[in-house]
Amino acid sequence: MKNILLPMLLIAALTISCTGRNDIIQENIRHAEAQLAYLIEASEAGDTLRIPSTYKHGEIEFVPTDDWVSGFFAGTLWYMYELTGKEYYAEQAQKHTEILHDIQYLKWHHDVGFMVYDSYGNGLRLKNIPGYDTVLVNTAKSLATRFRPAAGIIQSWNTHNPAQWQAHRGWKCPVIIDNMMNLELFFKVSEMTGDDTYRKIAMSHADKTLENHYRDDFSTYHVVDYDDETGEVRRKCTAQGIADESRWARGQAWSIYGFTVAYRFTGEERYIQRAKDIADYLLINEDNMPEDMIPLWDFDVVEFANNEEEMVKLFNDKDAMLPYTEIRDVSSASIIASALYELYWYTKTELYKEKADKMIESLSKAPYRAEVGTNGGFLFKHSVGSLPHSVLNIQAGRTKDHNIDVPLNYADYYFLEALLRKGRVEKGENPIK
């Protein structure tokens, strides 16, 4: 009897644990379907198709096509197609992708990698739609105009237009860690065309980032300002973190994601080593992540908000950041979870999957996940765009804030991506398709 019971119990336990895992994926898909019905309807309610970015004061905000977040809603719809197999989502995704047609020619900022890869890139991968490959190639050509050979990097922001805040920071050629996210487009286009110009630019940028963006503990600076004529590093600082020496959470997220992708396309040991160093730093050091694995918007917010001298220097007000010391950033958790599933696949380090699973579990409930029918149709609450910009705006009496503790379309996008990857690794499949 004992001999029969033991295997049966084991099978039962396994079934329960597998069902449990699938349940969290299926349940999140059902939630996303219900929520996105609102957002899709809202996106179609104007004279032209609109791109939802966040929800504030009871209203959905929409962005123009040249905003850095413009590709995430199309990408969310592509992932819904992939998660459900429903053609309806592919049709919606295609419509939202094609309103971004002109972005392939945009050259005045670096974010086109995000914008076009999430939309056209996913559309090409999933439906092989004619013409999407050309859009990717043209976008890579546009982005390549921002490569600065003397410094070996892709310039993130322009600094010559006084109407833009970037012109007032004393920078010459700022590169932000977020820029690592553009490399996927370059690697893909070289793979598609056989022209390795883009791959070389991507590797040069990754190598310079490896060299210059990191502190000894593998946390990353947000901004490194280069001299584009000599290649010299002029300054290491922040734009969206609380202080130059703080650790802005989303910067850490782009950093681990970016080096994991660089490894995917190159197989270079130095890239996966950096991704592992970042992961270990983020996950093993208990001060970095709260127990539920949803980080504060800046890991060091408590310390710096209480540093009166630093706050006066930056915000001319010693108390400027005190109201913001407990705010989490769901978008960082979604990005890190998605990266960790991929990194787990390459390294088979159980800790990476365990922590990604914990993030998914925390995000699947209150206070992060929105009740169906609320939150303007976005999946998650509690993300942060840029708190320093918001504080400076509020101080200047301007009404526009930069998204404090609100839903953000990229938190939803990377969560769905993480869900897809989780499902695949649990079936023993490569999470990247």
Residues that bind ligand GLY (CB under 6 A): 68, 178, 240, 250, 385
For residues 96, 334, 378, 398, the Cα torsion angle rounded to the nearest 10 degrees is: -90
Q: How far does CA 101 lie from the centroid of its chain?
A: 22
Q: With residue 390 as reference, give the H or E element that holds it.
A: helix 387-395
Q: Closer CB to ligand GLY, residue 40 or residue 206? A: 206
Residue nearest to ligand GLY (CB): 178
Q: Closer CB to ligand GLY, residue 83 or residue 391? A: 391
**Of 23, 47, 102, 111, which is the active-site residue?**
111
The minimum distance between CB 89 and ligand GLY, in angstroms, equals 25
The minimum distance between CB 250 and ligand GLY, in angstroms, equals 5
Tokens of 153: 């990097």
Q: Closer CB to ligand GLY, residue 295 or residue 385? A: 385
Q: Closer CB to ligand GLY, residue 250 or residue 422? A: 250
The minimum distance between CB 179 and ligand GLY, in angstroms, equals 9
**Of 178, 298, 300, 329, which is the active-site residue?**
178
The minimum distance between CB 385 and ligand GLY, in angstroms, equals 6
- Please measure the distance between the N-terminal and C-terminal CA atoms of the chain and give it in whole angstroms: 46
Whether residue 47 lies in the annotated active site: no
The per-residue DSSP string of 24-75 comes to: HHHHHHHHHHHHHHHHHHHHTSSSS--EEEEEETTEEEEE-TTSTTTTHHHH
Q: Closer CB to ligand GLY, residue 117 or residue 345? A: 117
Q: With residue 237 as reference, give the H or E element that holds it.
A: strand 233-237
Could you give the CA distance from residue 85 to residue 289 in angstroms, rounded to a whole number? 35
The minimum distance between CB 240 and ligand GLY, in angstroms, equals 6
Could you give the CA distance from residue 82 to residue 154 in angstroms, rounded to a whole number? 32
Could you give the CA distance from residue 57 to residue 403 in angstroms, rounded to a whole number? 11
Whether residue 111 lies in the annotated active site: yes
Q: Write out the catalytic residue numbers.
A: 111, 178
